[in-house]
Amino acid sequence: MNNKNQAYNIKEERNLELENIVGNLMIAQYQVDKLRSRLSERVGRYSSVNNKKSSMHVFKHNNKWYKVTTKVEEVSLNSSNNVVNP
């Protein structure tokens, strides 16, 4: 038997848990890319339409109220990766 025939006779063992983790990572990366794209499109539109570049969400959990505010600004980076004022 030559090496080519031996390769076909090797039984492949699969780790389904590992495959699921890798699959979930690929899906998560795709979702992150899509969300970044949507966010950058929205930020670009806001700067030309109005000054509203923040969002607020209020919710209650275990009898406590929480307010989450998100502010988005487009920034530039110089060559040493330091943030330059927008």
**Rounded to the nearest 5°, which phi and psi values hold at 72?**
-120, 130
**Structure confidence at residue 82 (pLDDT):** 64
Question: E strands of 3-85, at which residues?
Answer: 54-61, 64-71, 76-77, 83-84
Encode pLDDT of 5-50 as tens digits.
566 666 778 899 999 999 999 999 999 999 989 888 877 665 554 5
- The first and second tokens of residue 82, run together, are 């330091």
